[in-house]
A and B are shown apart, each in its own frame.
Chain A
Amino acid sequence: MDERYAYYPGCLASLSQKELDSSTRAITKRLDVELVDMPSVTCCGAGDIHEAKPDYYLHLSARILGQAERSGCKTLLTICNVCTLNLRQANQRLTEDPAELARVNDNLKSAGIAGYDGGIDVRHLLWEVSSGDGFERFKQIAVRSLEGLKVAPFYGCQILRPAKLLGFEDPDRPSSLERLIEACGAEAIDYPAKVKCCGFPIVLAREDVALGELVQPLREATEAGADVMVTPCPLCHLSLDAWQAKAADVAGMEFKLPVLHLAQLLGAAAGVEESQLRFRRHIVRLSDDVKEKLRLPSVVSAD
């Protein structure tokens, strides 16, 4: 784990999932890690700009990576699967092909934008906290054991596949979330759909197909007796949380599965105040039983 990271929260944590941003800031502070803000970065292009305007996406990514470089950090820290894949894919293209990097830098220069030298690594918070000394540090600060809490890890797609661009762990048998859940003192539930898709990319355009995907993890985790689900991706979170009621209609069964951002679970185990974890911003609210298992103060503080 680095001492300083160029922090890239991405669109969702900056706009509608502010609880993810505040929890991330709180947990990294406890880990004694400095997050350096990059105030003029844009959206990473998600899958959509990447698809519709591939060259624009590549340049937007180079602009973001260049800002990270000028922050003096070695690593850009992401908290979203989609940002992770998009930025790593662009980074690989730019660093493996000097001619391409030169072309992109020429264009950036013409538009009055500082260039990118190719010296940044893009890594997700999950990878940094679940391995090496980041994991050791986390174990030190995980002082509140969440014993009795059954957590269903949900990885989502773009932090696992394609492994040749991500490559942190075996995409079919990942274990980083389980390792962290256990370090929190909680119990990790195993279920096959934990590596499958949440349906988010097509939930607006092809809702029926997306819901057919979304019901699988929700059903399997519910049947396996999970109290909560945890995910490293805010898009998965939005799908699993905000579309949960619709998925329940499709499944013909009841789901009451609060979905936590990874940083919120880590934060609860590290004793971060609820005012920073902000569970009240979720659609599926925490039951009293879950609150107790998360060791949250019984009087809920105002948001």
Chain B
Amino acid sequence: MAIENAHLTTLQGAYDVELMEVTLRVRRYAGEGSRPETRSYTVEVATTATLLDALDVVKDKLDGTLAYRKSCRMAVCGSCGMRMDGGAVLACKTAMKPFVDAGHVVTVSPMGNLPVIKDLVVDMAPFWQKVHAVKPFLDTGGVDDPETEWRVTPRQSALIAKESLCIMCGCCVSECNSMDSDPDFLGPAALAKAYRFVGDVRDGDARERLKELSGAHGIWDCTRCYFCNQRCPKGVDPRDAIAKLGGEAFREGIARDEGAKHAKVFVQSTYKGGYLRETELVPKTIGPIAAIQQLPFAFQLARAGKVPNPLAPHKAKDNAEVKRLWKLLEAQAPKHRERATRAPEGA
């Protein structure tokens, strides 16, 4: 026994480590042409062990052919994304003790929405392609060789603080519902990265970026399922970044896309009548021609009483209040994106 569990007995001698037995069900896949299968492994690990520690013991002691990625073991490199019980986690950030205590055997499988190469290793190429597509670098807008540095206040740098935390692990992409339906959707990681530059007060290319991002497979593809915020191990909250991109696109007047028009109708509805008027939503969102194509369908909705009569009054009481509020906030709202200033020469 001393030899088999050498790594643990050494630790035990030195630090008095407590041990526990953990069982993992791991989805194995040997690559193209082979059938995936699930295998169970039981190993002894320290009670402080993470999922990654447990996999390391499995690979070391039971099955050297098991493939997974790892590097830092401390939630900074972004290598060890995988699914546990169907949801993406960083293996090195997931403690096993709660599952052992609950008597629950976890199932480990590769992340979703990415092709599987072997076992728990996915092909990250499509992920990187999308990140590269959003031009993930600063474009100062023609100022190639600044004489003086940009001055960025703490408040301004806080605008992109969350988005700057991304470690490119892919956990947010794994369960993204829109990417599941449209594999070309840029997705949460690339869009959070896009906001990291759109929101950077030193960037001079935001308008062009926003135009690009408002097209097909861009920000208006996001179905707001919030899986990305739920999964992200670093608190980036990609869905919130996408909402901020939408807000910036709206402010820049880039509302040519259907999704942005949809948002615009919502805004006008509360302004005019308090509650959302769905009758206006359909034609204004998809444009008149598409709306005519929708007609038989609208008729079906109307028959079931789903389309409120646009002439019937449903103004919320005291709506004048809301109008005053709208005007006040519009007057306060900055009309343009904030830009950093340059330090004076010689400063």
A binds B: yes
Q: What is A's interface to B at a CB cutoff of 8 Å?
A: 11, 14-18, 39-43, 45-56, 59-60, 63, 85, 107-108, 110-113, 157-158, 160-163, 171-172, 192, 196-197, 199-202, 204-206, 208-213, 238, 242, 246, 280-283
Known contacts A157-B224, A171-B230, A201-B224; A242/B301 CB under 8 A = yes
B221 to chain A, nearest CB (A): 6
Given contacts A15-B276, A51-B243, contact A210 B333 (CB under 8 A): no
Q: CA–CA, A236 to B211, complex, Å?
A: 30
Q: Which of B280-296 contact A (CB under 8 A)?
A: 281-282, 285-286
State whether A111 and B259 are in contact (beta carbons under 8 Å apart), knowing that A15-B308, A18-B305, A161-B225 are contacts in the complex.
no
Q: A15-B275, A172-B85, A172-B87 are in contact. Are A213 and B180 (CB under 8 A)?
A: yes
Closest Cβ neighbor of A50 among chain B residues: B243
Q: Is B41 an interface residue (CB 8 A)?
A: no
Q: Are B258's CB and A205's CB within 8 A?
A: yes
Q: Which of A53, A202, A238 contacts B220 (CB 8 A)?
A: A202
> In the complex, are the beta carbons of A172 and B86 less than 8 A apart?
yes
Interface segment among B115-123, B154-162, B262-270, B338-346: the answer is B262-270
Q: Is the CB of B259 within 8 A of A205?
A: yes
Asked whether B181 lies within 8 Å of A209 as measured between CB atoms, the reply is yes
| Chief secondary structure at chain B's binding surface | helix
Is the CB of B127 closer than 8 A to any CB of chain A?
no
Q: Are A162 and B275 in contact (CB under 8 A)?
A: no
Residues on B close to A: CB < 8 A? 85-87, 177-178, 180-182, 185, 220-227, 229-230, 237, 239, 243-244, 246-247, 250, 257-267, 269-270, 274-278, 281-282, 285-286, 297, 300-301, 304-308, 314, 316-319, 321-322, 324-326, 328-329, 332-333
Cβ contacts A to B, 16 pairs, < 8 Å: A43-B274, A46-B276, A53-B267, A56-B329, A111-B325, A113-B325, A197-B224, A199-B181, A199-B223, A201-B222, A204-B282, A204-B285, A206-B258, A208-B182, A213-B223, A283-B301
- B314 and A14 contact, CB distance less than 8 A: yes
Q: Could you say which residues of chain B place their CB within 8 Å of the CB of A200?
A: 223
Q: Is the CB of A55 within 8 A of B333?
A: yes
- Knowing A56-B329, A197-B223, the reply to whether A202 touches B308 (Cβ < 8 A) is no
Tell me how far the C-beta of A31 lies from the nearest C-beta in chain B, rounded to whole angstroms: 26
Known contacts A108-B325, A213-B223, A196 near B177 by CB under 8 Å: yes
> When the two chains form their complex, are residues B220 and A40 in contact, meaning their CB atoms are under 8 A apart?
no
Point out the residues of chain B lying under 8 angstroms from A110, CB to CB: 328
Known: A54-B247, A281-B304. A206 touches B225 (CB 8 A): no
Q: Report how far A204 CA is from B260 CA in the complex, Å.
A: 11
Known: A43-B269, A213-B178. 14 other contacts (CB 8 A): A42-B274, A47-B224, A49-B266, A51-B263, A52-B266, A53-B247, A107-B329, A157-B226, A162-B229, A196-B225, A205-B261, A209-B182, A283-B300, A283-B306
Residues of chain A lying within 8 A (CB to CB) of residue B270: 42-43, 45, 49, 60
A205 CB to closest chain B CB (Å) equals: 4
Nearest CB on B from A300, distance (A): 15
Residues of chain A lying within 8 A (CB to CB) of residue B222: 201-202
Question: Can you name the residue of chain B whose Cβ is closest to the Cβ of A193?
Answer: B177
Contacts A40-B317, A42-B316, A209-B185 given; does A48 touch B177 at CB 8 Å: no
B221 in contact with A49 (CB, 8 Å):
no
6 closest A-B pairs by beta carbon, nearest first, are A212-B181, A161-B226, A48-B266, A205-B258, A40-B317, A197-B225
User: What is the distance, in angstroms, from A102's C-beta to the closest C-beta of chain B?
Assistant: 15
Shortest A251–chain B CB gap in Å is 13
